[in-house]
Structure 1
Amino acid sequence: MGLNKFFSRSTVTEEPVSPIDAYSASDPRRIKLLDAIEESDLSWFWASDANGKIVYLSRAAQEKLTGEGIDFHDLSLVELFSTPISESDDEHGRQRPLPFLLRARNSINSLPVKVATKKDIWWEISGRPQFCEKGEFTGFRGSAKDISAQRQGQIDVNRMAQYDALTGLANRHRMETRMAKLLTASKASQRSCAMMMLDLDRFKQVNDTLGHQAGDELLKQVAQRLDRIIGDKGEIGRLGGDEFQIILPDMDDRGALGDLAQTLIQMVSQPYSINGARAIIGTSAGIAIAPFDGIETDELVGAGDLALYAAKAGGRGQYRFYSSDLSSDAHWRRQIEEDLRDALATDGLEMQYQPLVDTKTNRVKSFEALVRWNHPERGWVSPAEFIPVAEETGQILDLGEWVIRTACRDAAQWPEELVVAINVSAIQFANENLPTILSDAMMSSGLPPERLELELTESVFIGDPHATHEMFATLKKMGLRLALDDFGTGYSSLGYLRNAPFDKIKIDQSFVRGACEGGNNNAAIITAIVSLAEALDMVTVAEGVEAHDELDLVRELGATHVQGWIYSKALPQDAVMEKLASGELEYEPSGPAKARASRKAMFRKVGVIHEDHRYEVVMRNLSRTGARIEGLLNVPEGTDMVLDLGNGQLVVAVVRRAEEAAQGLEFETKLISDGADGLCTRHRVSPYALAAAGMPLAALPAGSYGVAEAMGVNPRSRPHFLQIETSPA
């Protein structure tokens, strides 16, 4: 078949033909020109019959298809070409698919189509419907060209616009687009979507120490670890710098999210090998969940940022769920920064000392110096609140020097055999003036170096390895004792113990907690740490021991020293001196027979729902398994209740103890950690349920407004119990 048959005029017209048109249609040079175009691959020609079967295709195009193993003979256009809708097509808009255009006998204008081959080959086709002199449809005629290279180039451009060039993860733009689409779809189907914000801890130190190329390599390895953990559960993006975001559709179980966050923190915190050098970082995570914490993208991202900020403020290496009170927490953190500076300038801090006792003799061997702050307006502020602020703002150097000088001065007044232990942060350890500060403090107080012990965490190994080794050598040359604190909770490398001259290992209290209960490996971990310390000729301290069964266990497992409330809380210097003045260096253990779930004392108003009534009570303490409340009279044991902790958190409970206006509740389902020192429920009342009860669809409001209504609590009978007011005393 020839070009003249298909591309000369095929319809009869009564209109006069101009000389130019007649000349062009019949001139053989026109046919040669079209042949030249076909052979040059600039454009090909094709034609189909009325049934869509291909009846003509340029020879160059035929050779292309034959080379790919495609026999186009007897194929229809829709069999040879497909028009799949990719994500990029959907975002940028496109024509209707080829089958529709053929059925409707519409013109085809520069339509991208995929050739029916395993390879990614794309053509762009154009065509117009043809009709005979009787007006009957005879098929299509058109042109085509190969756009595979251009399309791949466009895909690469689109990918660069959506993905991070360094890590291959989604970039900020793609994550924003994905989040907006997911939240829109989740609202329509009343589903949830969780988001994690991650920020690397101490990444800047690696960049400064090993260089920016090492920093880039580290970011790549972090991305690979995140991808291995998340897999197909969600999408990971790098927002810029050392900040990452993870989107997790259909997740609202805060227990599962907390476990996932903890796994991410542990895996990211494992050592990295970069160009033969060893690098150690950490990460913190903030978690927000739609629709509970936000409905729109900006709202949810803001909630995640606040949660991340709270996690970093809590000491780093933590995760934190968003809650409505985090805004006030952020304001308090800023106030801490200002007030701490004043407290250092006006001697507003004080030192307290907790004894470390020999497990065999109950005799005190040393005291750990612990800084305390009695805020003029807030009362006692936890070190977990102000120490991280001091580290982040640089005040830790001034604070650390004050601690060293004060502790040395106080310890110099104790009996000669007693040692004082001082916590030294990684920032202090990296300060080249630390040996001078220690020497000056010991000289001015008269405390000999063998009575001063520095407690260090594994974070001191993050910096320059050579500088770290030099500092260790200097401190040991000064005659100081060194202890490795919180062992097992950080990066846990035996290389630290091999290369650093530690005299003592402190077993973190997280391993002591629950060691007497079944279902965990805490006792085995303690045994392993004790055996390791014995092999390295180090003493061991079990921290946080509060009950006799815990004391008996750590003694049995071989810990040489114990620190905890079972012997004594931290005491001010005058109380320590009073104890030492009596000549009694022994501490008798005093505490409950068995450890129970840690309870947090408080005075907080909460709601209690019983049958069709809601009462306001005061919660005195809270643990994973139960709570103590006050404010209701005549509540018999065995009464079923629902405790409303606010922010959509409802806990089914039963009264196990009742004493006048106080009740002890046991929870049907245990609470979980909020990533810091608080507790929360796995699930919350859904905003979709509140919307069904008449409230506008929005993130959960603070407090308990609307929860009772969503549960159908509308008082219809007289209340069973008498509600009374209670005081904080």
Structure 2
Amino acid sequence: MARPVLALLGLSGDAPEHDACGHADQLGNVAAIWPFALAAQLVASAVFLGAMLGHRGAGAMPLDAWLTVALLLLPSLTALVLLVAPPVRRWPPHVRNRCLTFAASGIAAALSSLLWASTRLPLGALQLGCFVGIAGAIGITTVAFHPVRAATLGFGAGLVLMLSILSGRLVPSLIALLFLLCLAVVTTRLARLDERAARNQSLDTSEGKLAMKMIAEFEGHGTGWFWEADRQGRLTYLSAKVADEIAAGAAHPIGRLLTDVFRMDSATPGTERTLAFHLSSRTSFSDYTVCATSAVDSDAEPDRWWSISGRAAVDDLGRFQGFIGSGSDLTEKRRSDAEITRLALFDGLTGLANRQRMRHSLDKTLQQQGGGPYRPASLFLMDLDRFKAVNDTLGHQAGDALLKQVAQRLQRGVGDAGLVGRVGGDEFKVLLPGIDNRDTLAMLAKELIASLSQPYAIAGVSVTIGCSIGIAIAPQHGEDAEELVRNADLALYAAKADGRGVHRFYSDEMLAGAKSRKALEDDMRTALSEGGFTVCYQPVVSTTDAHIVGYEALLRWNHPTRGPISPADFVPVAEECGLIEGLGEWVLRTACAEAAQWPGEVRVAVNVSPIQFANPVFPALVTSALAHSGLPASRLELEITEGVFLDESGSTDAMFKALKAIGVRLALDDFGTGYSSLGYLRTAPFDKIKIDQSFVRGAAQPGNRNAAIIRAIVTLADTLGMETTAEGVEIQDEIELVRDLGCSHIQGYVYGRGVPAADVIVQLGGTRHAAPVGHKTSRAVRSRMLRSARIAIGGNEGDVRIRNISTTGAMIDGIEVGGQAVGLDVLIELVEDQMVSARIAWAADGKAGLEFNEAINLDRLNPAQPGRMRHAG
């Protein structure tokens, strides 16, 4: 059973062939024949003794006759001891074998002496009888040894006896004795060879048994196994564990062709040649992945896989005998490899394709086949809207659960039309091979946005998010994966810029815009290193005495070719490309250095980006700027937006403590426009709240709610011991409003735009009193439109055109009235079958201004394409 195994290990299952028999066999032969040899010696001794006594008498027996009898009996007695005595039985076989060999040599010597003695008797029947007995004894004795040696020894002894008997002389008899002694020596030498061969055989047998034991253990408990096939490729041996597994689903494998038992895995690399090829060509093969043919015939994935190797087996003459080989179980390895592949190609959280698989699939989809036309395909690049707020408020576990539900909705929405993947964070991709119709893609994008915008149940809470999609189509938007992904990303950027929750197709203008932003980024780097930026200062005025109490540092950039560029254009680019920290530090150091030249206690306010605020070394930068400029810390005010609270953590509180420890003032900028709650005001050590300009504009208009919001903010700030600054004040009548509402400071165009540091010193050199400029009164925000309306004046009716409208009035044209019509009451149909009363405020050149008797709701008009107008003059 273990023959192929031993053959693989260089061992043989059969006993090695030698010229001599093994110890046990040889000793058995001697023991079986020795009684007959002993009887022959006793008979020969008796015949010899009787002949000598009858010829000469007992008293006349010569000494040599008695010695001859003793030599005849001594070997027999020695052999008897070796065969019967218990202590001798415990001797090693090779020792007993050597003793019997010595006894055999003694017998040969004794028989030679008997032969010499018999020659001294008269030749006759007695001599012939002795000759026959002696020859028979020698033959029986030598048969106990190797047949070849027995024939040689017997033939040599016969020649010696014949020579001695026929010659009857002493010299030939001595020569014969010497010859027999040589034969005895040779026999002893050969016995030693027998002993050595027997020892080798014993060692081989012991090693073979140990190897068979170890192999049996390996086959039973290891992953390896062995097999053997005959010349025709039929299995003659297969390890039991593999044979049993194969026999469970089909016929027993022994006796079947190897190719009928095992089937190769065609997907395994490096196995272009089949098992049948190697069996027919008698060539070796190694590490072929196979499974049972019964498993291949079924539709299910095979439960077991093996790696099999084999080589041709030949005998000592080089004749082909079949195949021997080994195998090992690959099932767990394949499962492990499959899991590694899954982890390498699939997202661990959602189970969708990951970035690597999406890139591979995109490359394969866009690959040209045989130089033919490019295969059309489309790529959706998707980004979830408001996902970060979910992570911040509910935690990352809730965010992970949300991503899983998003993945499920995407897979249901896309179905078999394409491949859905997650490429990181809240960003997803959808690859749609063979689809390039814009209407089809737009419909699918709208369906996906609508599906993802439906509420989710996360940790018992209803969560609503959105989705923006950028679409690029191959080959018109890119013939390779890198270009297509870039353009889809540009389209996604445009979708976010257009308000999110929408889809946008890529266009060349997007690429031009991206190139423009890249050029702007490069120019910003140059301007930062070469001093292309400047700082202007806008005054902050006290509402109590209209004195300037400080300035806000405003970054300005006058591009050498583009001219002045608004901060609203270049600051977002600086935040995206990582320049904002360098710009912020430069503004901080410049503002501190220039403010140190201002007189009195005038403060300077510097805006701090959330990116700067998150940098742990920011307090050190502030300290360094103050130390180099000599500006007292109390005169520096850092304006921080609510964006720093989106990622509330211990580091935020630590940053506030570090800044307050320096002694600087902290102001909350753009209050009311962020995403945070009011909870942070309980712990954040702000000295001032800056009310966003969106609440200030229009606050002076009748019916506007902004004034109530401002009053609430001021009340909150007063309760918390904080100052308040109204931003964006542009109309003079808004000054009185914010003063009456309790604001402590005003900042806006009403007191001037930003000026260079040199002009600040001039302003502060005077009375430091700020005089308002610009428009004195406010009016309602107006919407431009062009629509017809029916108007009634007195008893006359006609049609006019409305040019613009606000909650308190409208401008119309197409009316023929003069200045004498001012003050007349009119009715105008703003909504079908609903007349609104108004009066004519002015009239000139076919146009007139109407003032409504009561404020109206513009939402009822639903004007198309409204636009904003401000400040009539």
Q: TM-score by structure 2 length?
A: 0.40
| Larger relative contact order (Cα-Cα within 8 Å, sequence gap ≥ 6) | 1
The structure carrying a bigger strand percent of its residues is 1
Q: Return the TM-score normalized by structure 1.
A: 0.47
Which protein has the larger Cα radius of gyration, Structure 1 or Structure 2?
Answer: 2
Higher helix share: 2
